[in-house]
């Protein structure tokens, strides 16, 4: 089995009859290693430890995590709790667990829960393909775009959100160049997005995160295209740290800013960005690199891993249900009910 065995390219999450296989995103692209999970707790560890990451992907993995404990006859509420607490910002995790909880409350057995987890997985791929088309249609011919973090097949059920738009645009001959930010400190851009872009043979250049504003000043960039971990009802959007800086720079340079996310990423109970919980990870993710110190021993660090882009800086949110231009609460409620 390989990470590249499906028609859409890369499959990071595989249900293997009685357990879950996750490609270990911590060691890609140097190594293709798989993590085998046999309980909800092991899936929660894989989510918290970043073996699986990306908002839709952790929702899908969590749904399978519940199935593992249901098959083994373990306590459902305990499984739900450990998965719910595994990461705080991406609302797709909560969305998938609530969807499974709803079915469970109607008396679903392990087999029915598995069927639902597979549905969540397959629906995500279909949604990404729809968003890919809708987002690509917004780009001018020969578009030059910047993207951030990894929002591709690795982060989703396949194809990707922002990277899905890039894939679809490339397939339709609408794209001439992608710049992808390295995405400190986990390097999702340098390791994972670069790997996916090379796999698709899409013309791409890696940039340091701090080079983006300079690039917009020097070269004609058409769109910044990013994913999302949670979209508040007013359109404020949490995504990987550095996204907000990209949005500010984009507005200053007249570059358009697109957010691509399925309906499970919207949190209609969250009034605005200030109410979105922002995950802070351990300081050593900044002070060390692959086990070696890069900052002096006594150095303190602050490591928020997401930030919030205000709706006013977003030109379009692309969802599988449609495109919202200049997002407002009214438009979001009209599309998502």
Catalytic residues: 229
Strand partners, 259: 226, 317
Query: Which of 3, 20, 40, 55 forms a contact with ligand MRU (CB under 6 A)?
Result: 55
List own/partner pairs for 326-330 with CB under 8 A and 24 or more apart. 327/234, 327/235, 328/234, 328/235, 329/233, 329/234, 329/235
Residue 239 marked in a binding site: yes
Strand locations in the chain (E) = 13-16, 19-23, 34-37, 143-147, 175-181, 204-207, 223-226, 230-232, 237-240, 256-260, 266-267, 288-289, 292-293, 306-309, 316-319, 322-325
- In this complex, which beta carbon is closest to ligand MRU, that of residue 234 or of residue 265? 265
CB of 72 to ligand MRU, least distance (A): 27
Binding to ligand MRU by residue 151, rule CB under 6 A?
yes
Site map 182..221 versus ligand MRU, x via CB under 6 A = ------x---------------------------------
Contact 129, 171 (CB under 8 A): no
Dihedrals phi, psi of 273, to nearest 5 degrees = -60, -30
Binding to ligand MRU by residue 53, rule CB under 6 A?
yes
Residue 53 marked in a binding site: yes
Binding to ligand MRU by residue 155, rule CB under 6 A?
yes
Whole-angstrom distance, CA of residue 240 vs CA of residue 149: 7
# binding residues, ligand MRU (CB under 6 A):
17
Query: Which of 13, 37, 41, 54 forms a contact with ligand MRU (CB under 6 A)?
Result: 54
Residue 251 marked in a binding site: no
Q: Which of residues 281-320 bind ligand MRU (CB under 6 A)?
A: 305
Whole-angstrom distance, CA of residue 185 vs CA of residue 191: 11
- In this complex, which beta carbon is closest to ligand MRU, that of residue 108 or of residue 336? 336
Cis status of the peptide bond prior to 15, with omega within 30 of 0: no
Query: Which of 156, 180, 193, 309 forms a contact with ligand MRU (CB under 6 A)?
Result: 156
Residues marked as binding for substrate? 53-55, 87, 188, 239-240
Summarize as ranges the residues that interact with ligand MRU (CB under 6 A): 53-56, 90, 149, 151, 155-156, 161, 188, 227-229, 239-240, 305
């Amino acid at each position: 089995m390989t990470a590249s065995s499906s028609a859409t390219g890369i499959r990071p999450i595989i249900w293997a009859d009685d357990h879950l296989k996750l490609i270990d995103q911590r060691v890609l692209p140097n190594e293709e290693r798989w993590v085998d999970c046999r309980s909800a707790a092991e899936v929660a560890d894989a989510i918290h430890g970043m073996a699986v990451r990306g908002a839709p992907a952790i929702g899908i993995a969590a749904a399978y995590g519940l199935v593992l404990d249901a098959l083994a006859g373990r306590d459902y509420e305990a499984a739900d709790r450990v998965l719910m607490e595994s990461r705080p910002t991406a609302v797709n995790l909560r969305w998938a667990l609530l969807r499974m909880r709803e079915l469970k409350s109607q008396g679903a057995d392990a087999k029915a829960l598995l069927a639902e987890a597979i549905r969540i997985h397959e629906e995500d791929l279909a949604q990404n393909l729809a968003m890919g088309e809708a987002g690509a249609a917004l780009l001018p011919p020969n578009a030059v775009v910047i993207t951030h973090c990894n929002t591709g097949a690795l982060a989703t059920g396949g194809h990707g959100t922002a990277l899905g738009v890039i894939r679809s645009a490339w397939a339709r001959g609408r794209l001439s160049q992608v710049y992808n930010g390295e995405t400190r400190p986990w390097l999702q851009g340098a390791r994972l997005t670069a790997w996916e872009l090379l796999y698709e043979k899409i013309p791409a250049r890696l940039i340091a995160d701090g080079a983006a504003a300079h690039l917009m000043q020097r070269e004609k960039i058409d769109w910044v295209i990013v994913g999302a971990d949670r979209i508040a009802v007013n359109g404020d959007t949490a995504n990987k740290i550095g996204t907000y800086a990209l949005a500010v720079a984009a507005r200053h340079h007249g570059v358009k800013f697109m957010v691509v996310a399925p309906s499970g990423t919207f949190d209609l109970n969250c009034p605005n960005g200030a109410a979105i919980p922002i995950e802070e990870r351990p300081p050593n993710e900044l002070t060390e690199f692959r086990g070696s110190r890069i900052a002096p021993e006594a150095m303190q660090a602050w490591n928020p891993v997401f930030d919030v882009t205000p709706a006013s800086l977003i030109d379009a949110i692309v969802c599988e249900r449609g495109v919202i231009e200049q997002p407002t609460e009214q438009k979001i409620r009209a599309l998502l009910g």
